[in-house]
Amino acid sequence: MSQIPAGAEGTVAGVMLYCCLCLIASLLLVWLTWTHHERTSYVAILSYFATLSTTASLVQQVYDITRYHGLVEEQFENRKMHPHNPEVAIANGSVGVSLVLYYIQYYCYGVEAMAASLAQSVYGLSSRPKLKNILRRINRGGKLAAILFPLVTTLLLRVPQVQDKFVSFILLADLPLMLSLFFGCILMIAILGRYIHTKRKFVHWSHDEASSTGHDLSALGGGRGTASTARPRHKRKGIWDRWLMVRFTIAFGALSVFEVTNTLFQLRSVTNAQDDSAARAPDLSAEKVRGSWVFFMPGATPGLLMFVVFGTTAPLRRHMYETFVPRRWRRQQQEGRESPPDPAVPLERRWSERAPTPPPKDWPVFVEVRRLPVQDKMGGSRRPGSDEAPILAVKRHEERHGGRGWGGKHTCNDRRA
C-alpha cells in the first residue's frame, strides 16, 4: 500500500517510468555485448553495473513507497542522534535496508565512472604504436581495478576513524568520481587529437586511390576502344566525424553532470540534517517528496547514456533491426525502395546511367581491400559506404567463425561466389 502524500504521485510515477526506461536500455546493452561475445569488455562492465544500480534504485523506490512514513521517522531520529556524522549527512539519514541499497548504488557509480574513463583510453588510443604495450597492461588490470578500487573506498567509508573526520570522509567518497573526471578530460583530448590525425590520413588516402583508379580504368577502356562517361565527383567529407565526437562528448559530459549532481545531493543531505536538528517532527509534505524523488533520476541515467553512446553504432543498429523487426516487414521495406523505372525518362538516358559492365570472368583481376587505421583502432566491423566507425569492440560473424571478413585479397570470381 502506498504511503506517498497526496500531490506527489505524478512525480513518483514519472521518475519510476524513467528508471524503467533506463533499465531496459542497460539490459539491451548487456544483450548486445553477450551476442557479440564481448562479455568481459569495458562496455559489458558498464552495462552490468548500470543494470545493477538501476535495479537497486527501483527496489529502493518501491521500498520507500510502501514504508514512507516509517522511513522518514527513522531518518529523522537518526539525524537527531548523529548530527555530525558524515555518513548520516550524505546518505540522508538512511538506516537498515535503505542504507544497504544506497551503498550498492554508490559503489556502482564508482565502477561505472572508472570503467568509462578506462574505456576511452582503450577505444581511442590502442592503435598508437608507442602506447600499445602500456594500454595492453592497462586493459588487463584496468577492469579489475575499476571493480576493486571503488569497493575499497566504499568499505572504508564504514570505518569509524574515517567517519570522525567530515572532510576526509567526503573526499574519500568522491575519489573514484574525481579521478575519473580528471583522467577522462585528458583522455578525451588525446582521443580527439588522435582521431583527427587518423581521419586526415584516411581522406588523403581515399582521394589518391580514387585518382589512380580512375586513370587506370580510363587507360584500360581506351585500349579496348570503349567510351567512358565521367561520373560527378562526390563532395569530399570533412575530417570531423560528428557522430564519434558526439559519443565521446556525451561520455565525458555524463561524468561531469553526474559529479555535479552527486555534489548537489550531498549538499541537500547536509541541509536536511541541519534543518532536522532544529525541527520537532519530520517533514511529510508532498513538496519534500517531489524534491527527494527527483534525485533518483541521475543514478539511473548512466544506463540510458551508455546505450546511446555504445549501443547505437551502425553494426549494432543493424543487428537490432534484423532481430526485432519481422522479416516480412523488412522484405516489404526493401521492395518499396526498389521502385520501377520512370517511363518518362528516355531509354538512352536510362542506359547511360546504368552501372558499368563488369569485366569478364576470365580476367584475373585482383582487388585488395586495405584495413584502415580507424578499423584497426576500433577493432570492429564497418558497413560499406558508412562514414561511422563503431565504438563497441564487435566483430563480424564471419571473422569469429573463420571467415575472411573485410581484409585480405580476393579475385573477382571469389567475390562473386
**pLDDT tens sequence across 254-297:** 666 766 777 777 777 777 666 666 677 777 888 888 888 988 98
Q: What is the pLDDT of residue 62?
A: 94
pLDDT in tens, 51-81: 999 999 999 999 999 998 888 888 888 888 8
User: What is the pLDDT confidence band of residue 392, given thresholds at 50, 70 and 90?
Assistant: very low
CA distances (Å), 381 to each of 200, 204, 275, 315, 393, in order?
20, 22, 57, 7, 9
Report whether 303 contacts 25 (CB < 8 A). Answer: yes
Fold (topology level) of 9-195+241-313: Rhopdopsin 7-helix transmembrane proteins (1.20.1070)
Indicate if the pLDDT at residue 236 is higher than 70. no
pLDDT in tens, 199-227: 666 655 555 555 555 555 444 444 444 44
Indicate if the pLDDT at residue 414 is higher than 70. no
pTM: 0.65
pLDDT in tens, 285-344: 888 888 889 889 888 888 888 888 778 878 888 888 888 888 888 777 776 665 555 555
